[in-house]
Structure 1
Amino acid sequence: MTSFGDLLGPQPTLLPGDDEAESALLNNEDPAAVAAAHPTASIAWAYLAEASLGAGETITAYAFARTGYHRGLDQLRRNGWKGFGPVPYSHEPNRGFLRCVAALAKSAKAIGESDEYARCLDLLEDCDPRAAEALGVS
């Protein structure tokens, strides 16, 4: 059974994470330097996107979030994800990708890109029904 109770659905995708990038961020290293050193680490892009949103830099946040989102999609596919199925928020290494999707949703909404906002909400719901709420996206 998958983590969301679907007996016939795919098993949850659990990303391996990037220990070096995560450690650097937890040690308060500059997220831009971490993203430059670890460009495939969605978590670094999530930090950059969220900081940009907090600073009112919506377009910059959108760009950072989209980069992290695409890097996360690459990782998900390399780990067996077929474009659908659970990507649990409870699994810490998945959060970089999910945080990027949430930041992309927020920045898309802020610039009036309602179709992109809806796609991001749908993706969060498909990945983990609890993710949007946990990430403050409604």
Structure 2
Amino acid sequence: MSDEFRTNLMGPEPTRLPAENDVYRGLALGESAEDLVAEHPESSLLWAILADEAWAQGHTVESYAYARVGYHRGLDALRRNGWRGAGPIPWEHEPNQGFLRALYNLGRAASAIGEDGEPERIDAFLVGSDPAAKAAIEALGH
């Protein structure tokens, strides 16, 4: 956990989403995100993977759409797990990574399509969630 999270004793507790064991298992068995998302449409991770795949194929608008769904599904999950619109969402907690990847993908695609103001808001949200998340996502090479 980053130093910012350890020293912020007065702020909200970090939100940690529950594991998506069926999703992880399916991916480990080689199932595609496209097939799995039909069974698990609530999974931000699957939507983030679809956004990454679309981006890699040069399908910017599709990447944006997948990322937008993943972002909204993630917001729903965060709220169900105690998040109140602010506070840390640590990257190091693996189940949070799907939401953070969807958020990153949304900002990247929003920038590519020229959406005014959205990339900056998303970047601030990502950095506010976990300052280490952006670099960690970029290190994945998606």
Fold conserved between structures, TM > 0.5: yes
1:65-99 Cα distance to aligned partner (Å, 9 max, x none): 00010000000000000000000000000000000
Aligned to 1:94: 96
1:21-40 alignment runs, 5 A limit: 21-40=23-42
- Map Cα deviations across residues 3-61 of structure 1 (whole Å, 9 max, x no partner): 34211001100000211012112222111111110000111101100000010000000
Letter in 2 for 1:126: G
Q: 1:56 to 1:114 in 2, by over 3 A?
A: same
Return structure 1 stretches of 4+ with deviation > 6 angstroms.
none
| Secondary structure, aligned partner of 1:65 | helix
Contact 1:2 1:10 in 2 (8 A): no
2:137 is equivalent to residue 135 of structure 1: yes
Q: Equivalents in 2 of 1:105, 1:20: separation in Å?
A: 28
Equivalent position to 1:69, from 68, 71, 82 = 71
Contact 1:65 1:100 in 2 (8 A): yes
Identity %: 45
Whole-angstrom CA distance in 1 between matches of 2:116 and 2:134? 16
Question: What is the identity, as a one-letter code, of the residue corresponding to 1:14?
Answer: R
Paired residue for 1:11, among 10, 13, 16? Answer: 13
After TM superposition, the score normalised by the length of structure 1 is: 0.94
* In structure 2, distance between residues paired with 1:124 and 1:102: 7
Provide the rounded CA distance (Å) in 2 between the counterparts of 1:117 and 1:31: 25
| Contact 1:2–1:12, Cα closer than 8 Å, also in 2 | no
Q: Count residues in correspondence.
A: 137
| 1:103 partnered with 2:110 | no
Q: Can you give the 5+ residue segments of structure 2 that lack an aligned partner in the other structure?
A: none
Counterpart code for 2:25: S
The Cα RMSD (Å) is 1.6
- Write the distance in 1 (CA, Å) between the matches of 2:121 and 2:25: 31
Cα distance, 1:2–1:109 mapped onto 2, change above 3 Å: closer
2:61 corresponding residue in structure 1: 59
Tell me the residue number matched to 2:51. 49
